[in-house]
Amino acid sequence: MPPAPPLLLAFALALPAPAAALPASIADPVERTRALDCMALAIAYEAGHEPLAGQEAVAEVILGRLAHPAYPKTICAIVFAGSERRSSCQFTFTCDGSLARPLPPALLAATRRVAESVLDGAAAPHVAGATHYHATYVAPRWAPSLVRVASIGAHIFYRLPGAGAQGGPPIPTVAAPPTAPPPAVFAPWGLAPAPAATGAL
Please name the residues in contact with 29: beta carbons below 8 A apart, sequence gap of 6 or more: none
Whole-model pTM? 0.70
The Cα–Cα gap between 4 and 8 comes to 7
pLDDT > 70: percent of the chain? 67
The Cα–Cα gap between 7 and 180 comes to 52
Separation of CA 4 from chain center: 19
Question: For the chain, which residues make up each domain, given as ranges?
Answer: 6-177
Q: Look at 8-22, 44-58, 87-101, 112-126 and tell me which has the smallest mean pLDDT.
A: 8-22
The yes-or-no verdict on residue 7 having pLDDT over 90 is no
* pLDDT value, residue 174: 41
* pLDDT value, residue 86: 77
- Residue 39 · residue 119 · CB < 8 Å: yes
What are 158-170's pLDDT values in tens digits? 999 986 555 333 4
The Cα–Cα gap between 5 and 101 comes to 12
* pLDDT value, residue 78: 94
The yes-or-no verdict on residue 75 having pLDDT over 70 is yes
What are 33-58's pLDDT values in tens digits? 999 999 999 999 999 999 999 999 99
Q: CA dihedral defined by 162, 127, 154, 131, rounded to 10 degrees? A: -50
